[in-house]
Amino acid sequence: MERFEYASPKSRKEAVGLLGSEWGHTEVIAGGTDLVGAMKDYAVTPKRVVSLKHISDLRGVRVRSGELHIGSMTTLRELMDDHAVKQNYPAVYEAVEEIHGEQIRNMATVGGSLLQRPRCWYYRLGYGLLAELDGKSLVSEGDNRYHAILGNSGPAKFVSPSTLAPVLIALNAEVALDGPRGVRRIALEKLYTTPTEPGQREHTLRPNEILTEVIVPHAAGVRSAMYELRQKEELDWPLSTAAVALELSGGTVRHARIVLGHVAPVPWVSPEASQALEGKTISEETADAAGQAAVRNATPLSMNGYKVQLARVAVKRAILKARGV
């Protein structure tokens, strides 16, 4: 990695003051499980690294007026161990359970998990997030077995790497972002964006902001679940995930929120899948119909057609899991 200056502020304000107004010069480090690797690969080359480790009020899980407030520096292990999370947000627990291994869970943070950079191999080899070379899309013309099947019509064809984000988006979570002009609170879904130009990032966090908190609404009566498909049992990236949050009335799905992971440059909210399920009772058939709806507009690349099937199955299985046996 390149030489950098390391700053360890004690407060949010101090941290924000250490950030720059453009991407590239400064990076924020939380658990470091992604950033350090990206720096070693020279995929990012910050001149200054700002650690959030010593800002004490960024860590911990609290329930306030029915909402779950998760500090961005809470580790995944702490999130998993929290009683309220396990009790009321089973899908969140399940998502962390799918993130391997224990060393990662002990170091990685909730904020870092939401803002980790894509695993696209062209990006990590130094060809940039859009992976273009001499005007060609390396992903389209090269090996795209792990790339996007949805939302891939632009130059960005990587997949959003977070296992946690789709679950929290399904639960209508919001995030608090601290910047020089104070705090703004946005839907987590809006944190993500698909870059269209080199130099753009895949999230809407501004270069001089830090993510401080995730707020998950009260989820009583919501049945949530997530399902992850990956090839290896452990220590492997998902090929497709699906998170669902369902409100049932009687046996009927009154409201459904369905979000897919690892299939698009952003966590992929699927109103088509929700629509297919709403008003129905959950069965193998209705769950599969929702899965089919989720991938109806998929545009697979030359080598990743199989991911369409995997996404469809992930959605189906997440719905059936949320229903319970």
Partner 1 sequence: MPECKYDWPAAADRHLIGTRISRVDGPAKSSGRAKYTLDINLPGMLFGKMVTCPYAHAKVTSVDTSAAEKMPGVRAVQVIQGPGKEIQWAGDEVVQVVADTEEQAEDAVRAVKVQYEQLPFLVNEAELSKAQSADRAAKPSATTQGDPEKVFNDPDMVVSDGEYGIPVIVHCCLEPHGHVVQWTGPQNIRSYSSSQGVSVYPAQFAEALNIPASNVQTICNYIGGGFGSKFSIDRWGVSTAQLAKQTGKPVKYLLQRSHEVEVAGCRPSGFARIKVAAKKDGTLMAWESDCWGTGGPAPSRGLELPYVLRDIPNYVSRFTSVGANIGPARAWRAPNHPQQALLTMSALDDLAAKLNMDPVEFFSKNADLAPQNLGKVYREELQKAAELAEWSKYWHPRGDKTPGHIKRGLGVSIHTWGGRGHASNCQLTIEPDGSVTAELGSQDLGTGTRTVIAIVAADTLGLPVEGVTVRIGDSHYPYDGPSGGSTTVGGVSSSTRRAAVDARDQLFAAVAPAIGVTADQLVAVGGRIQAKGDSSKSLTWKQACQKLGMKKIQTHGKNPGPCPNLISSGVGGAQIADVSVDTETGMIKVNRMTAAQDCGLIIDLKTAESQVYGALIMGIGYALFEEKIMDNVTGRMLNPNMEFYKLAGIGDIGELKVHMMTGPGYDERGVVGLGEPPVISPGAAISNAVANALGVRVPSLPLSPDKVLAAIQKGGMA
> Would you tell me which residues interact with partner 1 (CB under 8 A)?
2-3, 42, 119, 121-122, 124-125, 127, 133, 136, 138, 141-143, 145-146, 229, 231-237, 239, 303-306, 309-310, 313
Cβ closest to partner 1, residue 137 vs residue 274: 137
Cβ closest to partner 1, residue 197 vs residue 233: 233
- Closest distance between partner 1 and the C-beta of residue 283, in Å? 16
- Closest distance between partner 1 and the C-beta of residue 147, in Å? 11
Cβ closest to partner 1, residue 57 vs residue 236: 236
Considering only CA atoms, which of 81, 213, 230 is closest in space to residue 161? 230
Amino acid identity, position 201: R
Taking CA atoms, 132 is separated from 141, 163, 197, in Å, by 10, 26, 11
Cβ closest to partner 1, residue 56 vs residue 283: 283
Collapsing DSSP to helix, strand or coil, 93 comes out as helix
Cβ closest to partner 1, residue 120 vs residue 177: 120
- Closest distance between partner 1 and the C-beta of residue 313, in Å? 5
- Closest distance between partner 1 and the C-beta of residue 319, in Å? 14
- Closest distance between partner 1 and the C-beta of residue 73, in Å? 25
Q: Which residues of 223-255 are buried (b: 16+ CB within 10 A; e: fewer)?
A: bbbbbbbbeeeeeeebbbbbbbbbebeeeebee
Distance CA 308, CA 306 (A): 5
> Residues with Cβ < 8 Å from 99, sequence gap 6 or more?
76, 105, 108, 113, 163, 164
End-to-end CA distance of the chain: 50
- Closest distance between partner 1 and the C-beta of residue 233, in Å? 3
Cβ closest to partner 1, residue 59 vs residue 124: 124
